[in-house]
Each structure stands twice: as structure tokens, then as C-alpha cells.
Chain A
Amino acid sequence: MNKVMLIAGKELRSYLTSPMAYIITCIFLLISGVFFVLYLTATKYADTSIQGFIEPLSVFGLSNIGNVFLPLFASILTMRLLSEEKKIGTWELLLTSPVKDTEVILGKFLGSLGILVCMLVLTMYFPLMLAIFGQPDMGPIWTSYLGLFLIGSSALAVGTFTSSITTNQIIAAVVSGGILFALWFVGMVSNVLPTAIANVFSYISLSSHFSNFSVGIIDTKDIIYYLSVTALFLYAAIRSLETSRWN
């Protein structure tokens, strides 16, 4: 566990010393800010009372853009996670140190998760503003954050995996973007499909599991879904690391 934290710390540190994480965070804050304002003004026209601002579903727009943009940002955040080490060769030092493959992957993943948490914390001035100027229903806000955290960690796990299979960051980002888009897209098309298929599609879709969170409902099914996706892809990353020894 010590070594996991050591690697995570190193990773976090390297995020904080390179411009990438800052750029991503800025863009993320910018986009969510714009949506926040848009939602706020839209609901204002719908209902002029202060409480009316806080139509749960809109939770300052963050939840909606969150489940669309967050995976995208996750792909970019994780693309260098392992591919870079493979490319510059420090990989060789990591894998010949007395550290389990699982510890390497978990450390890397947690490092990127740290950045995600920072990003989410930074958006908390939206609900803070709402709380100052109105009486928002905090329930859906917190569950939205939980949902964002879960969907984000799933996306980071996918990115950790794709970063482990290549030395090329761009390929890593494109492949994880592709996987995440596919997982998101099946949710979109499930509406227009026959029920049997639609049910399967909407079960495997990243976005359909998010809707409960954004209206304040915590369903263990959704939590289990996101945790399984995270675990599955981290496991795949560990396996890919093991097979790299076999070359």
C-alpha cells in the first residue's frame, strides 16, 4: 500500500509540474461554468423564485456536461500515464523494482484520480454560490458529485488500460476516447432500439447509469456498475503489464 501511495504521489506531482493538467482543468472549469450560467438563466425564466433556480436535474449543468466531457478529459489525462514511461524507458526501472504489477497500476490510477478529485473540488464554487444566494436542495448536488467521481474513475481506468498497451500517447488517448464514446453512445441509441436490446445497451452504457445520480438517487446497481468498469479495466491493465514481460 505504501508503494501504491508512493507511485500515486509521484504521478500527482508530475501532473502538477506539467501544463497538461492545468490546461485540462481550465477548460473543464470554463465549459462547466458556461453550462452553469446557461442552466441558471434558463431556469430563471422558467421560475422566478430563488428556489426555482435549483431544478434538481440541472444541478448547475455540471452533471450533464460532466458525463459527456469528463470521459474525454480523462482520456487526455491518462494518455501519458504508462505509455510515457514505456517510451522513455523508466518503465524498466519500475518493473525491476520490488513492486507488484498491481501496485504500479493502482498507484498510477490513483495519481490520475487525484487530479480528477481536484477538478471536481474546484467546481464546488458553483453549489457554494447557489447556497449563498439561494436554498438549493443539496441532495442531488452531492449525489451528482458522487456520480461524477464514479464515472470519472471508470473513464480513468479505461485510460490507464489503453495507456498500458502502447508507447504512443496519442494512440492511447484515441483508443480510450473511442471505448468511452462507444460506452456512452450505446446509451444514446438504446432509446430507438427494441426493448430487449435497449435494456442490454442501456445497462452497459456509461451515461444511462448517471441519470439517477443527477436527480439525487443513489442506486447500488449504478455504483456497482461503475466500480465494475473501473475494476475490469484496471485488471486488464495489470494483465497487459504482465504480458509485456513475455513480449
Chain B
Amino acid sequence: MIKVRNLTKYYGERLAVDNISFDVGKGEIVGLLGPNAAGKTTTMRILTGFLTPTRGDTWIADCNMVTNSLEGRKHIGYMPESVPLYTDMTVREYLAFFGRLRGLDAKRTNHRINDVIGLCNLEEYVDSIIGKLSKGFRQRVGLAQAIIHEPEVLILDEPTVGIDPLQVSQTRTLIKELGKEHTILLSTHILPEVSATCGRVIIINRGRIIAQDSIENLSAIVKGARRLRIEVKGPHDQITKRLQRIDGVKKVSREGNYLIVESPIQIDPRSQVTEIIVKSGWTLLSIETVEMSLEDIFLQLTAKDKEESDSE
């Protein structure tokens, strides 16, 4: 549904997107994850035809967005980062305008307005002036605008920024729901967002893709390390020292009431850990292997990327 090949974008001298390629298949929800200034918005603006790339090509539903953007745009629903709205219109007028602009006839537009109003829980505000809505509801209007014409591809730039936790989780549920009928590319720099909504993640930093895979695979790749989380009763300092002496253990650190033991994946220090603790007369309350969080993955990957480009 979305195909990107060797995409490069310079703003004058500044390189914002550096030769990236990826695909998003029909029905997928893919997260574009990256820190500020990574090039997420720029990539999305090129995908939607708002900007022309310096080099490279993008396709939306088999339409080349450089040469045939007008046709391609029919298949796209887009919510820009700033959620732009005509604040002097009512929600209904706003949705009607974009419905018509994207080719729906009057009857279909009305029909669709009712649908999206329901989907986005906007019933109460449908005849309110947009300028008077709270941020969270504006966000929903922005989302409603993106799906009004039933596009095959949805491109959402940071869809949950600036809304309260309850609405964030509602929005994520909604995005997942939409994912059943649309192909979705969303950007974020919030890690839980990707694990909560996306099946796959593309991590970009400083304009380059540094990793892309399903969330599970990604953790496995970066893992390379095994992490044990131990809850133990006893003098933590002493325990830490003892555990560090185990062959192969790279690092022992404290995390709240737990100790984290890191080792390469091929070494399983569990039996040794239990033995040492029990023999020393401390009490082992629990021991478990923990998955690396996306956050760890991300930090590790961006750090690696930085090291590489620094050494260049």
C-alpha cells in the first residue's frame, strides 16, 4: 500500500531524510518512531504529496506520488502534526468541506459525517464551533477529517500528542479499530504508543532508518543480552558484588527493589545466582527473565547510530 524507495529530502542545505526505503502492506499498522527532528514529519509530508522529495520515489496504492500525486492523494487520509482546523467552522461544516473536497457527493458526505462522528465520539459537539473545542476533541475532529472519505491509507502524524491519558488510550483503541479497514502509518516519539498500537515499527534517527521489524523481533535482535530481575532480601550492596563475580555476568544494577543482572544471551546465570544467594543465607523472593522494553531498544539503537556516525 505504501512503498518508499531511496527517499531523500534536503531543505536547502539541511538533510532531513537520508535515503530511506520501506514498505507498508495492506492492513498493517506501522509506527514511525524517532526522536525530535528525526525526519518523521518530513517523510509523511512527502508521502502525502505535500512536499516533493529531492530524490527517490514513493507510491501510495500504486500511484507514484511524484508523478501522479493527484490520483494518489485520493487514497490518503492525513492528520498533520499540528491538527490544522478551520476554527470558525462547526465540526459538521468542517467535515462536510473535506468530504466534498475529496470527492464525496452531498448525500454520501452526510452519511459519512454521521459514521465518523460516531466512531470518534463527537456526537455532542457536531454542531459546535471548532474554535471552542478542547484540544482532545480537536484531535478527534482531525482524525474524523482524515477518515471521512474512507481512504485506504491513513497517515497520522503524532496522533496522541497533547491529550490526556484516558483519551490517549481511547484514541489508540480507535486507531486499532481503524486498522482493520485501513493501512496505517503513524509517527510518534512515545514508545508505549508503538507497542500499544502497531504491529511493526520503523525506527528513524537523523533522517535514516536504523531498524525496522516487528516489535517482538526487534527486541530479540537488540537483545543479545539476557536480563534477569531478581527480588532478594539481604544487603543489596554485598549481593551486587557477589553476583558480579559470576562468570559472564556483564553488569548488575539496582532498579527499585530489584536487582537486574545482565549477561550475554548464550549464558544463563540463573542457577549460579540462586546458588550464591541461598548459600550466603539471603532470601531469594523471585527471579525472572525480563524482555527489553522498546525504550531500551530505542536508546540502544540511537546510541549505536550516534557512535557510528561520530566515528565516520
| CA distance in complex: A3, B99 (Å) | 11
Taking CB atoms, residues of chain B closer than 8 Å to A99 are 101
The 8 Å CB contact of B84, one of A7, A10, A14, A89, is A89
Cross-chain contact A14 with B88 (CB below 8 angstroms): yes
Contacts of B97 in A (CB 8 A): 6, 10
List B contacts of A96 (CB < 8 A): 48-50, 73, 76, 78
Q: State whether A92 and B45 are in contact (beta carbons under 8 Å apart), knowing that A14-B88, A247-B51 are contacts in the complex.
A: yes
Question: Are A97 and B85 closer than 8 Å at their CB atoms?
Answer: no
Verify A89–B80 contact, CB threshold 8 A.
yes
| A220 interface residue per 8 A CB criterion | no
- The answer to whether A97 and B88 touch (CB under 8 A), given A89-B80, A247-B51, is no
A95 contacts the other chain (CB 8 A): yes
How far is A110 from B73 in the complex, measured between Cα atoms in Å? 24
Q: Is A239 in contact with chain B by the CB < 8 A criterion?
A: no
Known A-B contacts A89-B82, A97-B73, A100-B70; A246 and B98 likewise in contact (beta carbons under 8 Å): no
Q: How far is the CB of A158 from chain B (nearest CB, A)?
A: 25
CA distance A7 to B45 in the complex (A): 22
Q: A90-B84, A92-B45, A92-B80 are in contact. Are A97 and B98 (CB under 8 A)?
A: yes
* Residues 71 to 98 of chain B near chain A (Cβ within 8 Å): 71, 73-74, 76, 78, 80, 82, 84-89, 97-98
**What distance in Å separates the Cβ of B93 from its nearest Cβ neighbour in chain A?**
8
Report Cα–Cα, A18/B129, bound state, in Å: 13
Which residues 9-62 of B have a CB within 8 angstroms of A? 11, 45, 48-52
Chain A nearest CB, measured from B252 CB (Å) = 50
Return the chain B residue nearest A2 by Cβ: B100
Interface string of A72-97 (1 = CB under 8 A from B): 00000000000000001111111111
Given contacts A95-B49, A97-B73, A247-B51, contact A6 B101 (CB under 8 A): yes
Q: Interface residue tally of chain A, by bracket? A: 20 to 34
Contact with A along B139-181 (1 / 0, CB 8 A): 0000001000000000000000000000000000000000000
Task: Provide the bound-state CA to CA distance between A167 and B103, in Å.
Answer: 28
Q: From the candidates A10, A93, A98, A245, name the one contacting B52 in the complex (CB within 8 A).
A: A245
Is B3 in contact with chain A by the CB < 8 A criterion?
no
Q: With contacts A92-B45, A92-B50, A98-B73 known, is A6 near B84, CB below 8 A?
A: no
When chains A and B are docked, how far (Å) is the Cα of A96 from the Cα of B149? 13
Chain B residue with the shortest CB-CB distance to A85? B84
Chain B, residue nearest A90 (CB): B84
Q: How large is the interface on B (under 10, 10 to 19, 20 to 34, 35 or more residues)?
A: 20 to 34
Q: Are A245 and B50 touching (Cβ within 8 A)?
A: yes
Residues of B within 8 A of A14 (CB): 86, 88-89
Residues of B near A246 (CB, < 8 A) are 51-52
Please state if A88 and B84 are interface contacts (CB–CB under 8 Å). yes
Distance in angstroms between the alpha carbons of A93 and B89 in the assembled complex = 15
* Separation of A14 and B93 alpha carbons in the complex (Å): 11
Mark B98-139 against chain A: 1 for CB-CB distance below 8 A, else 0: 101111000000000000000000000000000000000000
Contacts of A98 in B (CB 8 A): 70-71, 73-74, 101-103
Report if A48 contacts B (CB, 8 A).
Answer: no
> Closest approach, in angstroms, between the C-beta of A106 and any C-beta of chain B?
14
Partner of A6, one of B11, B74, B89, B100: B100
Residue among B71, B73, B86, B101 facing the most chain A CB atoms (10 A cut-off)? B101
- State A88–B78 Cα separation when bound (angstroms): 16
Q: How many angstroms from the CA of A211 to the CA of B88 in the assembled complex? A: 41
User: From B86, which residue of chain A is reached at the shortest CB distance?
Assistant: A90
Q: How far apart are the CA atoms of A6 and B101 in the complex, in Å?
A: 7
Residues of B within 8 A of A6 (CB): 97, 100-101
For B84, what are the chain A residues with a Cβ–Cβ distance below 8 Å? 88-93
Residues of A within 8 A of B50 (CB): 92, 95-96, 245
Q: Given the interface contacts A99-B101, A247-B11, does A93 sit within 8 Å of B78 by beta carbon? A: yes
Kindly identify which residue among A3, A17, A89 contacts B101, using a CB–CB cutoff of 8 Å.
Answer: A3
Q: Which residues of A contact B49 (CB under 8 A)?
A: 95-96, 245
Q: How far is the CB of B9 from chain A (nearest CB, A)?
A: 9
Complex Cα–Cα for A18 and B89 (A): 11
Residue of B71, B78, B86 most packed against chain A (CB within 10 A):
B86
CB A117 to nearest CB in B, in angstroms, measures 22
Q: Which 9 A-B pairs have the closest CB atoms?
A: A89-B84, A96-B48, A90-B84, A98-B73, A98-B74, A89-B82, A92-B80, A245-B52, A97-B101
Extra contacts, 7 of them, besides A14-B88, A92-B78, A93-B84 (Cβ < 8 A), are A17-B88, A88-B84, A89-B80, A91-B84, A92-B48, A98-B103, A99-B101
Which residues of B pack against A, CB within 8 Å? 11, 45, 48-52, 70-71, 73-74, 76, 78, 80, 82, 84-89, 97-98, 100-103, 145
Q: Could you jot down 29 A-B contacts, CB within 8 Å? A: A6-B97, A6-B100, A6-B101, A7-B101, A17-B88, A88-B84, A88-B87, A89-B80, A89-B84, A92-B45, A92-B50, A92-B78, A92-B80, A93-B78, A93-B98, A93-B145, A94-B101, A95-B50, A96-B73, A96-B78, A97-B73, A97-B98, A98-B70, A100-B70, A245-B50, A245-B51, A246-B51, A246-B52, A247-B11
